[in-house]
Structures are given as structure tokens and as C-alpha cells.
Amino acid sequence: MKLLDNKTAIVTGGSRGIGRAVCEAFAGQGARVLFTYVSNDTAADETLAALHGMGVEADAMKGDAADSGFADSVCVRAKELWGGVDILVNNAGFARDGLLMRMKDADFDGVVQTNLNGAFYMLRGVAPLMMKQRSGRVINISSAAGVYGNPGQANYSASKAGLIGLTKSAAKELGARGITVNAVAPGLIETDMAAALTDEQRQRIEGAVALGRLGRASEVANLILFLATDMAGYITGQTIGIDGGISM
């Protein structure tokens, strides 16, 4: 028997990077997976094909994580397909960096709306379903930037710090119904964001990491998988760093 047999998972931002790695990790352990994505149809089709190739039921929905109506429709879809939701991974997010003195309102508001508000909308949507079944796992993808801050990322850091507060409050509200809510805080991971680094930037970051390298999406996915299983049944309200030691 696999760790997530007969479980249903929603993964936002699931077509690429960490999100896709999470979808594949869940599918490898038997979960049914519904993932969302905002624009890249090709990547979504490739991810969906990969999940079906692993022998699990899977579906994808295209929409904006910052839209509360879309979040509600995702929860409705999961209930229609499979009767409920056992796991939610709030992964959808983006960065729009800039010095705070020059940051436009739209750049701050847009990042917070997607990264933080979007997670709240999804959590609010799945909470009644999980409360009814008296079980559930919620994992919010924060960031080392949300724990320690980053220059040039006031908007991103604020949104990811907000996720930590959301995690703690939701854990206290939902724990009595058997629902755990945790956050993971990755450092820099080998994704599209890392690919945009210059060689100089990459070398500087790697030099600050105790392990001397960037993380892999599969490594973050393995931590999220653990938090989604019964093995993590007594862990809630926590923010777990996965950053190679850069935060020490």
C-alpha cells in the first residue's frame, strides 16, 4: 500500500518547478491530483500526461490564484471528481523584485494578492470539506525570504511572511478537527527563477549555502510529501526550512 492511496490533493501552481515535483511525488504515492496553473498550457499538458502515465487520476484547471472565485471553483471541481479534498498545497506564487523606494503599488499588491491572498482563498475553500471529514493536510509554500527578509524583495518577503502567520492561525483554528497546517520555507531552488541568475549571483548564493549548492525541486517535494502523510500527524503550525543551511 502506498502512503497516499485513496487521497485527493490540490496543488496550486502545479505545472512547473516545485509544484510539478509535488504533483509527481504525490502521484507516486497513489494520490489523485488536481493542480492549477495560470498560463503555460504546454507545461500543464506535459505535467498532466506525466501524472496519467503514473497510473493515477489527475486533472488540471487554468486560472488566476489571486481570484477568489477561481479558488472556489477548484474546490467544487475536486468535490465533483472525487468527493472531497485531503491535501492542499498552496504553491502558486511569483516575484516582482525592486527596491522598496521605487516599487509601484501594483508590484506590491500583485505579489501579495497572488502569494498570500490566493493561499487564503484556497484554504478557506477546502476548510469546510476537511472539517466535515475531520481530517486534512495543508502545506503552504513560504520562503527563506519570508523568515529573514531579502533586499529588493519587500513585496515577496512580506507575502511569504504573511503565509507563516496564516499557517499558525489556521493550525490553531482547525487542529481540533484533525487538520494540520504547516509551512515550508525553501531557499533558492533550481527552478525558472534560479535560471535567471547571472553566474556571479549564483556563485555568491552558493558560497553562502552550507551545502555549497542550490536545492532541487524534488528535495522540497519530499518534505511536502512527508507533511502530507500520516507520519506527520502530530506536526502542525510549524515552518520548516529547507535551504541547505543558508539561514544558519
Question: Is residue 234 annotated as part of the catalytic site, yes or no?
Answer: no
Q: Is the pTM of this model over 0.75?
A: yes
In a domain, 2, yes or no: no
**Residue tagged active-site, from 37, 121, 148, 156:** 156
- Read off the pLDDT of residues 143-166 as tens digits, 9 standing for 90 and up: 999 999 988 899 999 999 999 999
In a domain, 104, yes or no: yes
User: Cα separation of 244 and 248, whole Å?
Assistant: 9
Tell me the residue range of the domain where 233 lies: 8-241
In a domain, 3, yes or no: no
- Read off the pLDDT of residues 8-29 as tens digits, 9 standing for 90 and up: 999 999 999 999 999 999 999 9
In a domain, 124, yes or no: yes
Q: What are the DSSP calls for 125-157, one per residue? A: HHHHHHHHHT-EEEEEE--HHHHH--TTBHHHH
CATH code at 185? Answer: 3.40.50.720
- What is the SS3 assignment for 31? coil
